[in-house]
Amino acid sequence: MRRYSDTNDGGRTGRGRRARDRLLRGEPPQASASSSELSNLLYFVGDDLREAAMAVGGIEAFLVAVEELLADPAVSAAAVGELDSYAQVNERIERLGDSMDSLCRSLYRLRRALDRQPDAADQTPAASSTA
């Protein structure tokens, strides 16, 4: 049975870890760019995705450490203290927020650039000929 938080945050894609691995490898965007402006914007989006994936990976590592701690029947105050002072997770959360803000700005710029592109239908010979 899925938790309430799982059902409210959308369906599971089954691609999470593989997608993050692909992003961290720095694979170039697959969309074809018809201009250098679009190409640059696609790389900015890809860079923002990689930054977000790295932040998510650090947050996930912290969550796994907490899960392992809770599964230990002999959990100690010292072990909890180590995770309690895990300052990196707060830095990763801030980095994730910054990355998501940057990603949204990059996507907005990409959308605006795509809006300025002529439609493929406008470029067909039939559309440009006069009858």
Q: Could you tell me if 49 and 125 are in contact, meaning their C-beta atoms sit under 8 angstroms apart?
A: no
Positive or negative, the CA dihedral 26, 29, 33, 38 is negative
pLDDT reported for residue 13? 45
pLDDT reported for residue 72? 92
**Cα 34 versus chain centre, distance:** 24
**Using the 8-state DSSP alphabet, how is residue 122 labeled?**
G
pLDDT reported for residue 98? 95
pLDDT reported for residue 126? 52
pTM of the complete model: 0.62
Question: Letter for the amino acid at 21?
Answer: D
Which among 86, 106, 91, 104 is positioned nearest to 40, based on CA atoms?
Answer: 106
pLDDT reported for residue 100? 95
At 102-126, the pLDDT tens digits run: 999 999 999 999 998 876 545 545 5
Q: Name residues of the chain where pLDDT drops below 70.
A: 1-34, 85-86, 119-131
Taking CA atoms, 15 is separated from 12, 18, 21, 71, 80, in Å, by 8, 5, 10, 26, 31
